[in-house]
Amino acid sequence: MDLCYTSTVVPRLIRDLGAARKNISYNNCMTQLFTAHLLAGVEIFILVSMALDRYVAIVKPLHYMVIMNRQRCSMLIFMAWGVGFWHSVALLLVVLNLPFCGPNQIDHYICDVKPLLKLVCKDIHVVNILMIANSGMVVVAVFLVLVASYILILYNLRTCSSLGRRKALSTCSSHVMVVILFFVPCIYIYVLPAGSENKDKEISVFYTVIAPMLNPLIYTLRNMEMRIAMWKVWSKMAHSKFR
């Protein structure tokens, strides 16, 4: 999902950085809007599924194989795609019905809903509310659910031994880092209305480029065998360099 999501943004961004004319057709713009929100929505609900997985593994370890069976995991992935699809369709339908006029210049590196709303030649007060309800409130609600899940995990860890607490927290640490990198910038972007003067372009880089780039590294470094293998490779490289 990280690879697919960032592929909707980064190739176009690299192309625009080296191009004299940074233009995009209307159809391509709408396609990027739909695809980016679809894949971001799926990513968000996969993170929720991962939080559920960690909650069950830590709080109810003896029932883990029964609760998190293959059928339930498949259902969670199917739900993530379904919710992401309806979110992006609803957003696209709102944008397609808006009248655009004036200078068709998007002050952003991606065709997102907020920079597009600034080009609309009518009152966007109602549309702003719909946008915040569709994107902002959903992101905030999901983030609060994730925070609540980790509060419950910490509450249940109070009776565990110090070794058990360390193992449980190390299991959750990578997921917490990914959630913070992705959700905090998203909340900043989508809770504020389109007319606000803010650092949208700079903040968007965190969840469109930096977070997907760091996620594989964050998850990989959790694995002890992977850390040992990487250390061996780096040691051989350093040894051959200074030999």
| Integer Cα distance of 5 and 39 in angstroms | 5
pLDDT score at 241: 61
Nearest to 108 by CA among 34, 1, 24, 18: 24
Residue 184 pLDDT = 86
Q: What percent of the chain has pLDDT over 90?
A: 10
pLDDT attached to residue 82:
93
User: In the structure, what pLDDT confidence band is assigned to residue 75 with cuts at 50, 70 and 90?
Assistant: very high
Q: What is the pLDDT of residue 117?
A: 83
pLDDT tens column, 167-206: 777 777 777 888 888 888 888 888 877 665 667 788 888 8
Instruction: Examine the pLDDT at 163 and tell me if it is beyond 60.
Output: yes
Gap between the Cα atoms of 107 and 79, Å rounded = 34
- Residue with the larger pLDDT of the pair 79 and 158: 79
Q: Given a cut of 60, is residue 243 above it in pLDDT?
A: no
Query: What's residue 242's pLDDT?
Result: 57
Query: Domain residues of the chain, as ranges?
Result: 2-242
The predicted model scores a pTM of 0.82
Among 150, 142, 146, which Cα is nearest to 59's? 150
3-state secondary structure 200-234: HHHHHHHHHHHHHHHHHHHHHCCCHHHHHHHHHHH
Q: Tell me how far the alpha carbon of residue 230 is from its chain's centroid.
A: 27
CATH class belonging to 2-242: mainly alpha
